[in-house]
Amino acid sequence: MKHSVMSNAVWMMSEKIVSVFGVIFVTSYVAKSFGPSVFGQIAFSASLFSIVQAVAIFGTETILFKSISKSAPRGIRLMAVAKRLRMALLLLLSAPVLLYIWLTMRENFLVFAVASFFAALFVTQDIFSVYNNARLASRMNTIANAIGMLLSFAISFAVAWLRLSPLLLSLSIVAVTLVPYLIKRSMFYQANSITLPPKRKQKSYLRYLLHAGLPLAISSVFISIQVKLAQFFLVGVGSAHELGLFTAANTISASWIFIPVAIITSCFSEIFRERADVAVKLAARLNGYVMAVSFLMLLIVALFGEEIITTLYGHDYTESGDLVTLLSLATCLSAMGTVAYRYMVKEGGFNYLLVKVILLVVISVATNWFFIRSWGLTGAAWSVLITELLSLTVMNYFFKNAIILKIQLSSLNYKIYK
């Protein structure tokens, strides 16, 4: 692995270490202070707007990453068009969601939903993160995001420590995206400028984003729905209390995924530029690295997960401890699935990804409905695990003569690492 790639990955990991620190020492303290119900309300609002955010981004992060990796000037012009598209989609989709929550749910839900809307607004307008990642300059993202997270954690901790109204946690939700956005925007404009392409070319850029982005956008939405389905079913069948328990277990189980994701993101800036035969070899090697890291973290969570849950969240979350190993195994499969997903994007498999994710959502709805009604929280964890297993294996193997299977098998051959 090249030094620049490894250095970029380390910077991305260091950012997430700050995030994990917050999850361990702040989020758990807040969850313990206000109980599973408030924690569940925040999680539900965040889940809703994560879906809105996925639609608004419209698959442009992957498109921009690929474009900037090949040509920074063209990528910057595309960024300007993508920024406008994202804003229009976000406003269009958020209005009915907020209206629905205002009419049907209690005040707490509305306050947290409005905060989640503003958080999504700044994420969708943050086109600078993908530029920094593609240029292997993730150090800038790390600095900005770390400052935002530290401020957000400070607000959350102060609200919990002083026993203030839990509604003030909405300030923390907004700060974690607003502050990084302002910092990254300022740093970008010190060295670059963004101007829209000439009017005669704007339509062609927009058509390109819509054509290439639509399958990715729909895939992203379905992925987001698929991931959140267990939470939605738990709210429908159970309660906000059960959702809080599931969210706590899922938070710990997925807290380490930043390590393989950082490696994947950094390595794919090179893989996107390589010809097919070299790209396959690099992807297989990358899959092996991700597999090794993932199973190491799974072992740690399996050994100490239950103790971590009870220590951080308190005895109210004891039931969450039974879920951490299953959900951490699902996280392993998800991490390796990201390698396959990125490689399919390189090969232009947008339509395949769309069909794949739609089928997975159908399967996920069926398994969630049956498993949660039959086994409650444990059923939700099993549903997530089964969906991730299918996503990594069978659902990938029909793409381009089972190239993903070949990559996965090659990653088990020690010669690929020479």
pLDDT single digits (tens) 196-225 = 788 778 888 888 888 777 777 777 777 667
pLDDT for the residue 86: 92
pLDDT single digits (tens) 250-273 = 888 888 888 888 888 778 877 877
- For tokens 């969240």, the residue is 313
Average pLDDT, the chain: 85
For range 34-39, the mean pLDDT: 78
Query: What is the share, in percent, of the chain residues with pLDDT greater than 90?
Result: 33
Structure tokens at 12: 């991305």
pLDDT single digits (tens) 91-128 = 999 999 999 888 887 767 889 999 999 999 999 999 99
pLDDT for the residue 232: 75
Burial of 408 (0-12, 13-18, 19+ CB in 10 A): buried
Q: Which residues contact 376 (CB under 8 A, 6 or more apart)?
A: 238, 242
pLDDT for the residue 178: 95
Q: Work out the pLDDT band at 140, boundaries 50, 70, 90.
A: confident
Going by C-alpha positions, the residue among 411, 283, 387 that lies closest to residue 345 is: 283
pLDDT single digits (tens) 51-78 = 889 889 888 887 888 788 778 888 888 8
Distances (CA, A) of 207 to 88, 214, 402: 15, 10, 31
Q: Work out the pLDDT band at 21, boundaries 50, 70, 90.
A: low
Domain count of the chain?
1
Asked if 19 and 256 touch (Cβ cutoff 8 Å), the reply is no
Q: Work out the pLDDT band at 290, boundaries 50, 70, 90.
A: very high
Going by C-alpha positions, the residue among 378, 43, 327, 368 that lies closest to residue 226 is: 368
The answer to whether residue 1 scores a pLDDT higher than 60 is no
d(Cα 273, Cα 134) in Å, to the nearest integer?
Answer: 11
Q: Work out the pLDDT band at 89, boundaries 50, 70, 90.
A: very high
Structure tokens at 250: 């899922």
pLDDT single digits (tens) 295-332 = 999 999 989 988 888 887 888 888 888 899 999 999 99
For range 350-371, the mean pLDDT: 88
Going by C-alpha positions, the residue among 302, 248, 290 that lies closest to residue 1 is: 290
Q: Which residues contact 38 (CB under 8 A, 6 or more apart)?
A: 108, 166, 244
Q: Work out the pLDDT band at 9, boundaries 50, 70, 90.
A: low
d(Cα 171, Cα 159) in Å, to the nearest integer?
Answer: 10
User: Can you give the residue range of the structural domain that contains 76?
Assistant: 3-417
